[in-house]
Structure 1
Amino acid sequence: MRRILLSLATLAALSSPALATGGFNCAVKDKNVSFEAEAGFSYSLGGILNFRGTLALPTDLAQKGLDKVILDQSSLTHHWLHDGELRLLVHAESGENQPFAALDFVMLTTVDEEGMNFEGTYTLKVEGEKFDEAVRRTGKISCSAG
């Protein structure tokens, strides 16, 4: 009886669904921004894990404290990875003892037919004392996934 119970417990543990993971990396370098990021993700749950990267602004957009930003999980304020779409919203603000400045980097991409690359657009919004109103720039971005 003990062997039967142990066998049933082992069978139940082995039959639970596996949570497959993958990863992506995204990059763009144009006149508006230099952005690189990578992360892992769960195929089954859509969660993004260990997000990290860098975002650098050109001289005309750079604000004190935001000229080059090191990105981590706290920078990723929203994300969407579902049904062939990868969307990210990265937010950063200038540090303490610096004039207020903030940026939002939003990317909207869709997967290609092979399911390995995401292509789309980004929007960059920069605010700070250097500008009378927020400056917005757009461009194309690509990501690879696996």
Structure 2
Amino acid sequence: MRRILLSLAVFAALSSTALATGGFSCAVKDANVTFEGEAGFSYSLGGILNFRGMLALPADLAQKGLETVTLDQSSLTHHWLHDGELRLLVHAESGENQPFAALDFVMLTTADEEGLNYEGTYVLKVEGADLAEPVRRSGKVACSVG
């Protein structure tokens, strides 16, 4: 009897609904910024999983400590993947023992008819001790989602 009950419990646990996952990859390479980012996500829970990437600024815009930034989950301060929109806000700051510098990279994209390619725009804001005021640049971004 115990084996039957144990078997039923194991079968019930294994037959629960699986959580579907997918992923996205985004890239920009223009005169303002080089950006690559990717992550997995849960369709059912809506969370971004294992975000990672790289962001590099051109010499005329780069502040000390922000020339090339390795991105991880802590860099992704806001995200939205819902109803045909993918939006990301990536934030980075210069490290310790360096003059203050920070950047925000905001991406706003919408899906094509098939829902696999997302295109849109980005806005980059760079602040730094060497800058009298924040510098803003913008451009186009493309992503694939699957």
Q: TM-score range by the shorter chain?
A: over 0.9
Instruction: After TM superposition, give the deviation of residue 43 of structure 1 in Å.
Output: 1.1
Counterparts of 2:3 and 2:96, CA distance in 1: 63
Aligned to 1:110: 110
SS in 2 for 1:9: helix
User: Which position in structure 1 is the counterpart of 2:78?
Assistant: 78
1: CA distance between counterparts of 2:135 and 2:128? 9
Alpha-carbon distance in 2 for matches of 1:113, 1:9: 43
**Residue matched to 2:92:** 92
Work out the CA distance in 2 between the residues paired with 1:3 and 1:102.
Answer: 60
Instruction: Give % identity.
Output: 83
The unaligned stretches of length 5 or more in structure 2 are none
1:2-21 maps to which residues of 2 (within 5 A)?
2=2, 5-6=5-6, 8-21=8-21
User: Residue in 2 aligned with 1:50?
Assistant: 50
Question: 1:74-118 deviations in whole A, cap 9, x for unaligned?
Answer: 111111111111111100000111100000001011111111111
- SS of 1:99 mapped into structure 2: coil
Structure 1 length-normalised TM:
0.93
Q: What residue identity is the alignment partner of 1:18?
A: A
User: Size of the alignment, in residue pairs?
Assistant: 146
Shift in Å, 1:11: 4.4
Letter in 2 for 1:75: S
Tell me by how many angstroms 1:12 deviates.
2.6
SS at match of 1:65: coil
Counterpart for residue 128 of structure 1: 128
Structure 1: gaps of 5 or more residues: none
Name the SS of the counterpart of 1:114 in structure 2.
Answer: coil
> Could you list the per-position Cα deviations for residues 38-58 of structure 1 after superposition, in whole angstroms to 9, with x for gaps in the alignment?
111111111111111110001
How much is the aligned-residue C-alpha RMSD, in angstroms?
1.4
Match of 1:26 in 2: 26
Matched, 1:119 2:96: no
Partner residue in 1 for 2:144: 144
Matched to 1:62, the amino acid is A
How far apart are 1:6 and its partner, in Å? 4.0
CA distance, structure 1, for counterparts of residue 69 and residue 10 of structure 2: 48
Q: Specify the code of the residue in structure 2 equivalent to 1:41.
A: F
